[in-house]
Amino acid sequence: MDKIIKTCKVCPVGCELIINEDQSEPSGYHVEGNSCNRGKDFGIKEIIEPSRILTGRVLLKNGAMSRLPVKTTGVVPEDKIEECLKIFNSTEAISPIKRGTVIIKDILGLGVDVIAARKA
Ligand code: SF4
């Protein structure tokens, strides 16, 4: 495997991670560029089980716009993204909504919420 470069999405710092195969590591991968261990775990998980913060839109009622931008509060496994987007498409929020308001609690039981990305 060639080295893989990923941006850590665990916190807003956004460290650039360089991930290489390394059989001397218990995980089989060596991660550089991380400022903390959470970044190392994120980098390894991104190779073994890719996932990402999901963004999208839900329907908005009584607002100045017809759709409300939303995002997940944590990462969603790649194989669950399509299912989550279907739920986004069938969800309706009612204005007024503050930024950060939980729109969908614990989506698919993944332990992450879907929140409003802006006020509306
Ligand atoms: S490696 Fe640590 S400091 Fe850097 S973005 Fe990830 S969580 Fe934040």
CA distance 70 to 103: 8
Whether 36 is in the pocket of ligand 1, judged by its Cβ within 6 Å, is yes
- Cite the residue boundaries of each domain of the chain with CATH code 3.10.530.10: 52-116
What pTM did the predictor assign? 0.65
Take atom 3 of ligand 1 and give the residue whose Cα is closest: 35
Query: Topology of domain 52-116, per CATH?
Result: CPE0013-like fold (3.10.530)
Whether 53 is in the pocket of ligand 1, judged by its Cβ within 6 Å, is no
Q: Write out the two tokens for 86.
A: 């279907």
Give start and end residues of each alpha helix (H) in the chain.
37-48, 81-89
What is the chain's Cα-based Rg? 17
Instruction: Give bridge partners of residue 76 from the DSSP assignment.
Output: 52
Q: Write out the two tokens for 42.
A: 């994120």
CA distance 41 to 19: 11
Whether 10 is in the pocket of ligand 1, judged by its Cβ within 6 Å, is yes
- Residue from 50, 56, 54 nearest 77 by CA: 50
| CA 95–ligand 1 middle distance (angstroms) | 34
Tens of pLDDT along the chain (120 residues) come to 789 999 998 889 999 999 999 999 999 999 999 999 999 999 998 888 888 889 999 999 999 999 999 999 998 988 999 999 999 999 999 999 999 999 999 999 999 999 999 999
Listed in sequence order, the residues at least 6 apart from 38 whose beta carbon sits closer than 8 Å to its beta carbon are: 8, 10, 11
Whether 15 is in the pocket of ligand 1, judged by its Cβ within 6 Å, is yes
| CA 75–ligand 1 middle distance (angstroms) | 14
